[in-house]
Amino acid sequence: MSKNLQILPLGGMGEIGKNLTIYEYGNNMIVVDCGVMFPENDMYGIDLVLPDFSYILKNKNKLRGIVLTHGHMDHIGALPYLLRDVNAPVYGTPLTLGLVRRKLEEANLLANSDLRPLGEVEHLGPFRVKPFPVAHSIPDSVGLVIETPVGSVVHTGDYKLDETPAGGRTTDLNKLKKLTPEGVLVMLGDSTNADQPGRTETEAVVAETLDRLFKQAKGERIIIATFSSVLARLQEIIYLAEKHNRKVALTGRSLVENIELARELGYLKVPKGILVDIHASTPAEDLVILSTGSQGELRSALNRMANGEHRQVSIQPGDTVIISGGTIPGNEEVVGRMLNNLFERGAHVIYGAMATVHVSGHGSREDMRMMLEAVKPRFMIPAHGEARHLHLHAKLAQETGMKAENTFILRDGSRWLTDGKKAWTEGGLELDEVYVDGRLVGEIGELVMRDRQRLSQDGFVVALIPIDKKNKLSGEPQFVSRGFVYLKDSGKLLDEGREQIRRHHTKGAAQLRRALEDFFYRETQSRPVVLPQYIQS
Amino acid sequence: MSKNLQILPLGGMGEIGKNLTIYEYGNNMIVVDCGVMFPENDMYGIDLVLPDFSYILKNKNKLRGIVLTHGHMDHIGALPYLLRDVNAPVYGTPLTLGLVRRKLEEANLLANSDLRPLGEVEHLGPFRVKPFPVAHSIPDSVGLVIETPVGSVVHTGDYKLDETPAGGRTTDLNKLKKLTPEGVLVMLGDSTNADQPGRTETEAVVAETLDRLFKQAKGERIIIATFSSVLARLQEIIYLAEKHNRKVALTGRSLVENIELARELGYLKVPKGILVDIHASTPAEDLVILSTGSQGELRSALNRMANGEHRQVSIQPGDTVIISGGTIPGNEEVVGRMLNNLFERGAHVIYGAMATVHVSGHGSREDMRMMLEAVKPRFMIPAHGEARHLHLHAKLAQETGMKAENTFILRDGSRWLTDGKKAWTEGGLELDEVYVDGRLVGEIGELVMRDRQRLSQDGFVVALIPIDKKNKLSGEPQFVSRGFVYLKDSGKLLDEGREQIRRHHTKGAAQLRRALEDFFYRETQSRPVVLPQYIQS
C-alpha cells in the first residue's frame, strides 16, 4: 500500500468550473467539491459540462466521503450526476446542504442520499477534515484543512479577504493558523483573480453605493438584478429597502427559492411585511424589485423585462435598473443587448464601471499574497482557474519566496504525489469532457461538436442521387439543404452542382463528396457539410 | 425643393460599426464614412456586415461626395462594396486615402475611383466641409464641420481629448471653435465610451509603461501584439526599441503593410537599421517582435505563436509577451484561450488590468462633457454607439444643460430634419442587415441565419422515406444526420424514429415533420432540424 498522498483534480485546473479534487491515501479517498462548468459560447447546444467521473467510479470502494466548500453550482452542480452511481456521505455547511438537497430532490435522488452537516473535525479514513470560515459571495463558505498521514493540506476553496463583508463573516486566517500548528505541506489556492492587481473591494462599498442610488431614485421604481446566491447582498438590499421605506418584490425562480431557503435556515433576516407579491399593485416609488438575470440569460426575469415579455413587470421611463453582478467573460454580447433594450424602454440603467454595484467574491493578487504569507505552505498548487490564472498564481507564490520547483501547475487528471518530504507528478489520466445536452449525458462527443461548429458556419447540403442497379443515374439528383444559401434563389448553382454529380457519381461517395465540396467552395467560398446519398431504385 | 437639412444615418446608430451618415439638402447629398461591422458571435458564418446602401443607390444622382474621417475599417471598410455601384469623389486625409487605396486595389476598383485629398474647405453642392484634427488611435483622424444652408453641423468622428498623444496631434478644440463662429446647429458626437467614467488616459501612459516593461525584460525577448492601425503606438515602440538597443521584427500581414504605408507617407519614422527580417537570427535579448493578434484572431500571428504554429517564432520560456490592445467585447473567450496557451509555453504575459499597456482611442464621459461644452450645439445626436451608449450620451448632454427635447436618439434609417430653428424626425427607412459570407453579399438572409442558429444547437436529421406510387412505404426509411447524436450508438432511437415514420408517413411531410420533431424532443430534449424526404420509386 502506497505511503504517499495523491492529489488528483478532475476539474478546475485549466478552467473556471467543474471543481472536483480527489485526495487519496492507500485505500482511501475523499472528494472535495463536485461542480459543473457552464459551456463557452462555441460549445454549441451544450447545457453543462461535467467532470469525467470514471476514476471515482472505478475506485468507489475507496471513497470515504464528499466534502463541499460552498453552495455554488461550479462546486455542487455535478453531485446529482455522481450520486446516481456512487453512494458516499456528503458533508457540507447547512446552507450548502440546503442547496444540495434541492438539486437532489429535482433529480429524484434525495431519498437515497446521505447528507451530513460538516462538523469541526470529520474523520474520513486516514483524513481529518477541519473547515475554517471564508468570505465569499455566498454565505456559509468554508476552506478546508485536511490532515493526512504525511502532513496538512490547505484547500482554500473560493475566498476573498473581506474585513467588512456584508454578512459579517470573514476569512478566519487566525483559525486557519491554529488548525495548522505544525505547518502546511501543500496549499491548493483559489486563482480566479490572479490577473487582478490590488485587493478586491469589500462588499461594504456595494452597500454604500446602493444606499446612494436608493436616495437618487426617490419617487421612482428600483429594479436590482443580481446573482440569486449572493445572499449577503440580498440581505443588504432588504435592509436598504426598509431604511428607504420600500417594499421588496421578487421575480425569478432561483431567487425566490434561495431567499426562501436562506430564511428557513436563518441566513436571511426579512423584516415583517417588507416582502410583497410581484403581482401586488405597490406604487412604483415604494417598490424595489429583486430580479435574476444579471448575465442576460435568455429566459431570466430581467431579460424578459428588457424584451417586454415579463408578465408582471413592464419597464417604465424613469425606472432605475441596477445590474449588481459582474459580467462573466463570454456573456458580454448578450448582457450588452439586454442593457440596450432596457435603455430603449426608458430605464435609467446603472452597470459596469459607472458605479461600484458589484464586487468579486474572489480575492485579488494582494488578497492572494496575504493568504500565501499566512499559510506558508511547503508546496503550492494553484487551483480554480484557467491556465493563465494558475501560472500567475504560481509566479505570485514565487514572489513571496517560494521556490519555483515547489509550485506545481496541474491539469485535470494530473496525479500529484507527496511522501511528506518531496513532491512530484506522475502519469496522469486522460479525461473526457462530459457534455450534458438535454437528456443526453456524455453521448455528445467531439465529433458531434465539430459537426455543429461546421453546420453553424455554412449549413449542409444532402445530395440525393437516384441510381439503378448498374450504378447509373436513374433520375434527376436533388438537394436538401439548410443554412447554406436560399435554394430557391440558387438555381444556377444547383444546376451546376447536378452537373458535378453527373460527372463524378461513379467514383463513389467519398470522391463525389470532395468534388461537391470543392465546387461549392469555388462558387461561394463557403464549406457546407456535404453528404451524398445514393438511392438505389 | 425642401429647405430642410436631412440627416439620415445608415449605420452606427445602435451598433459600434458600419458607420455611414447621409447629409441631404434639396437635390444634394454627401456621405460621411462608409464602414463595415464585424459580426457578433451568434452571426454564424458571417464575415462582415455592411450598411444597406439602397437609399444611396436610389439617389445616386444627388451624391456630391463621400468624406472620410479616418482609416479604421468601421469607417472605410464598406467603400469597395459601395463604389461597385456608385461613382463619387472620395475625400480623406493622406493616410486615410492610403488605406482606402489598398482596399480598392484588392477589389480591383482603384482604377475607376476618384480619391481626393481633403482640403481645408470642400464645396460639395450646398455643403462646405471643413476638417479639424482629432486625437484617435490612428493618425490623420479628423472631425468635420459641415456648413449647410440652415446652419453648421459638427460631426466629431471618433475622438479622444488627449493632451499628450503619442503622435503629437491632439483634438483641436480651438480650431473647431474658430470654424463655427456663428455657433453650432447640431452635433453628432462619438458615444463609444459613454459608460466609462472620468477621462480616457493619455497614450503617454502607455509609453511609460512599455518603457518600464522593456527595462524589466532585459536579456529576454519581447513580443508586443497590438492593432496594426495604432501607428502612434508603433512609433513609440520603435523609439523604445532604439533606446533599449533592440531591433524590431514584424509579423502579420496588416502590420507589415500599414508600417510600409505609414513610412511612405511620412507618418512613421524608422531609424536606420532598426527593422530586421523576422527570418533573421537576431539574439532574443536584442529583439522586439511586433505582431498582430491582440484579439486572439484564429489565423493571427500571435495566435499562431500561442498554438505553436508560427513558422518563424516559437515562444520560449522567459519571453515577455505584451498584449497592447483592449479586448473588444465578444472576443473575451478567444483572447482568454490564447493567453492560456502563451502561459503554457512559458511566456510571461502582460495583459488586461495588470499594467496600462493599452488605452482607448475614444474619450470617456469627461472628455465627452468637455466636447459638449466646447461645441455648445443647439441640437445633439449621439452617434457611434449601441443604444446604451447613445442614451447615456444624451443624458450627459442634458447634464451640461441641454433640454431633453433637443437631444435625439436615432436608429439606422431614422430621418432627422431641421429647418435651422426646430428639429424633428420623420418617417424613417426600413433597412436590412447586409451580410457578407465568403463571396455571397446580401444573399444570406434572416432565414438562413436562423437555420444556422438551430443547426449549431442540435444539428439536423433528414429522413429518407421510400414510397411507391400508392404512397405506401416501399422500403426501410433511412436517416441522414449530423450534429445531433452519434447515429451508430443510437440504434434504438432510430428504430423508434422509423416506427414514427410508419405511423405518420401518410399524413404528409408537414405533419410527419412535426411528429418526428416531437418524438426526438421527447427522447432527447433536443430539437434538431427535421426534414422528411419522400422518395418515389
Please, what sign has the CA dihedral across residues A113, A158, A323, A270?
Answer: positive
Give the pLDDT band of residue A163 (cuts 50, 70, 90). confident
Contact B531 A482 (CB under 8 A): yes
Topology at the third CATH level for domain A445-536: Ubiquitin-like (UB roll) (3.10.20)
Give the pLDDT band of residue A490 (cuts 50, 70, 90). confident
Compute the half-sphere exposure of residue A289: CA atoms within 13 Å on the CB side of its CA. 30
Residue B319 contacts A where some CB pair is shorter than 8 Å: no
Q: Clarify whether A136 is annotated catalytic.
A: no
Q: What is the pLDDT of residue B485?
A: 85
The torsion of the CA quartet A245, A251, A255, A261, rounded to 10 degrees, works out to 70
Q: What percentage of chain A reaches a pLDDT higher than 90? A: 88
For residue B339, give the nearest of A389, A13, A225, A441 by alpha carbon.
Answer: A389
Topology at the third CATH level for domain A5-198+360-440: Metallo-beta-lactamase; Chain A (3.60.15)
pLDDT in tens, B368-407: 999 999 999 999 999 999 999 999 999 999 999 999 999 9
Beta carbons within 10 angstroms of residue B275's beta carbon: 16
Q: What is the pLDDT of residue A299?
A: 92
Helix (H) or strand (E) holding A238: helix A231-243
Q: What is the pLDDT of residue B74?
A: 97
Q: What is the pLDDT of residue A263?
A: 94
Please, what sign has the CA dihedral across residues B421, B424, B426, B430?
Answer: positive
pLDDT in tens, A438-464: 888 888 888 899 999 999 999 999 999
Cell of B205: 501612459
- Phi, psi for residue B471 in degrees, rounded to 5: 65, 20
Contact call for residues B528 and B461 (beta carbons, < 8 A):
yes
Q: Is the pLDDT of residue A166 over 80?
A: no
Shortest CB distance from B482 goes to which of A351, A486, A529? A529
Q: What is the pLDDT of residue B440?
A: 85
Residue A277 contacts B where some CB pair is shorter than 8 Å: no
Those residues whose C-beta lies under 8 Å from the C-beta of residue B202, and which sit 6 or more positions away, are B162, B163, B164, B165, B359
Shortest CB distance from A457 goes to which of B45, B387, B447? B45
How far CA B43 is from CA of A456, A483, B386, B446, in Å, comes to 9, 12, 17, 10
Residue B458 contacts A where some CB pair is shorter than 8 Å: yes
Please state the rounded mean pLDDT for residues A223-239. 94
Please state the rounded mean pLDDT for residues A475-481. 93
Mean model confidence pLDDT for chain A:
95
Q: What is the pLDDT of residue B1?
A: 67
Q: What is the pLDDT of residue A23?
A: 98
Residue A412 contacts B where some CB pair is shorter than 8 Å: no
Q: Please give the distance of CA B253 from its chain centroid, rounded to a whole number.
A: 18
pLDDT tens by residue, chain B, 537 residues: 678 999 999 999 999 999 999 999 999 999 999 999 999 988 999 999 999 999 999 999 999 999 999 999 999 999 999 999 999 999 999 999 999 999 999 999 999 999 999 999 999 999 999 999 999 999 999 999 999 999 999 999 999 998 887 766 789 999 999 999 999 999 999 999 999 999 999 999 999 999 999 999 989 999 999 999 999 899 999 999 999 999 999 999 999 999 999 999 999 999 999 999 999 889 999 999 999 999 999 999 999 999 999 999 999 999 999 999 999 999 999 999 999 999 999 999 999 999 999 999 999 999 999 999 999 999 999 999 999 999 999 999 999 999 999 999 999 999 999 999 999 999 899 999 899 998 888 888 888 999 999 999 999 999 999 999 888 999 999 999 999 987 777 889 999 999 999 999 888 889 999 999 999 999 988 899 999 999 987
Q: Is the pLDDT of residue A70 over 70?
A: yes
Contact B482 A451 (CB under 8 A): yes
SS3 B253: helix
Tell me the DSSP string of B106-156.
Answer: HTT-STT--EEE--S-EEETTEEEEEEE-B-SSSS-EEEEEEETTEEEEE-
Contact A453 B456 (CB under 8 A): yes
Residue A42 contacts B where some CB pair is shorter than 8 Å: yes
Cell of B159: 475622438
For residue A350, give the nearest of A315, A324, A377 by alpha carbon.
Answer: A324
* Model confidence, pTM: 0.94
Residue B44 contacts A where some CB pair is shorter than 8 Å: yes
Domain coordinates in residue numbering, chain B: 5-198+360-440, 203-350, 445-536
SS3 content of chain B, % helix, strand, coil (to 5): 30, 25, 40
Give the pLDDT band of residue A1 (cuts 50, 70, 90). low
How far apart CA B18 and CA B495 sit, in angstroms, is 51
Q: Is the pLDDT of residue A2 over 90?
A: no
How far CA B84 is from CA of A399, B80, B88, B334, in Å, comes to 60, 6, 11, 34
Q: Is the pLDDT of residue A181 over 90?
A: yes
Q: Is the pLDDT of residue A304 over 70?
A: yes
Residue B537 contacts A where some CB pair is shorter than 8 Å: yes
Contact call for residues B29 and B118 (beta carbons, < 8 A):
no
Q: Clarify whether B362 is annotated catalytic.
A: yes
Contact B455 A458 (CB under 8 A): no
Cell of A325: 453582478
Q: In chain B, what residues touch A41 (CB-CB under 8 Å)?
A: 41-42, 333
Taking a contact as any Cβ pair under 8 Å apart, which residues of chain B between 170 and 229 contact chain A?
195-197
Helix (H) or strand (E) holding A391: helix A387-399
How far apart CA A464 and CA A490 sit, in angstroms, is 17
Question: Interface pTM (ipTM) of the complex?
Answer: 0.93
- Packing angle, helices A491-504 and A509-524, rounded to 10: 150
Shortest CB distance from B330 goes to which of A333, A391, A453? A333
Contact call for residues A187 and A375 (beta carbons, < 8 A):
yes
Range with the lowest mean pLDDT among A340-354, A471-485, B57-71, B485-499?
B485-499
Contact A533 B344 (CB under 8 A): no
- Phi, psi for residue A7 in degrees, rounded to 5: -110, 125
How far apart CA B523 and CA B378 sit, in angstroms, is 63
Give one word for A91, left, alpha or beta, with left for phi > 0 and alpha for psi -120 to 50. Answer: beta
Q: What's the CATH code, domain A203-350?
A: 3.40.50.10710
Q: What is the pLDDT of residue A120?
A: 97
pLDDT in tens, A363-382: 999 999 999 999 999 999 99
Q: What is the pLDDT of residue A183?
A: 97
Q: In chain A, what residues touch B445 (CB-CB under 8 Å)?
A: 486
Q: Minimal Cα distance from B525: which residue of A? A: A438
